[in-house]
């Protein structure tokens, strides 16, 4: 296995990890920012107020995008498995 193929494989793996985590992190960021702005305007500084909406929003997003995430991960994994003979050479 050449160093170029290792770098390419690592690059693809990092891109896949970023692609799969982006929807969940984006929704968590948006909900957290919205709650923070709401807390700043109303001067309610309850720490637990930020966690529950974020958890619910990320969970709902995960349920919504799980089929897409699973298909992307399945395609990536099958492509890696089928290219194992090329890595051995």
For every one of its 89 residues, what pLDDT tens digit does the chain have, with 9 covering 90 and above?
Answer: 788 888 999 999 999 999 999 999 999 999 999 998 998 898 887 777 888 999 999 999 999 999 999 999 999 999 999 988 887 87
**Whole-angstrom Cα distance, residue 31 to residue 38?**
10
Q: What are all long-range contacts of 52-58, with beta carbons under 8 Å and residues at least 24 apart?
A: 54/28, 57/27, 57/28, 57/31, 58/24, 58/27, 58/28, 58/31
**What are the residue ranges of helices labelled H in the chain?**
3-42, 48-82, 84-88
Q: Which structural domain range is residue 20 located in?
A: 3-88
Q: Is the dihedral of CA 15, 19, 21, 22 positive or negative?
A: positive
Count how many domains the chain has.
1
Q: Tokens in use for 52?
A: 């529950």
């Amino acid at each position: 296995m050449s160093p170029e193929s290792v770098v390419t494989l690592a690059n693809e793996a990092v891109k896949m990890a970023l692609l799969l985590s982006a929807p969940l992190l984006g929704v968590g960021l948006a909900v957290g920012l919205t709650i923070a702005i709401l807390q700043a305007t109303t001067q309610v500084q309850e720490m637990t107020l930020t966690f529950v909406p974020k958890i619910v929003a990320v969970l709902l997003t995960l349920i919504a995008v799980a089929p897409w995430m699973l298909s992307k991960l399945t395609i990536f994994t099958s492509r890696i498995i089928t290219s194992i003979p090329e890595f051995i050479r």
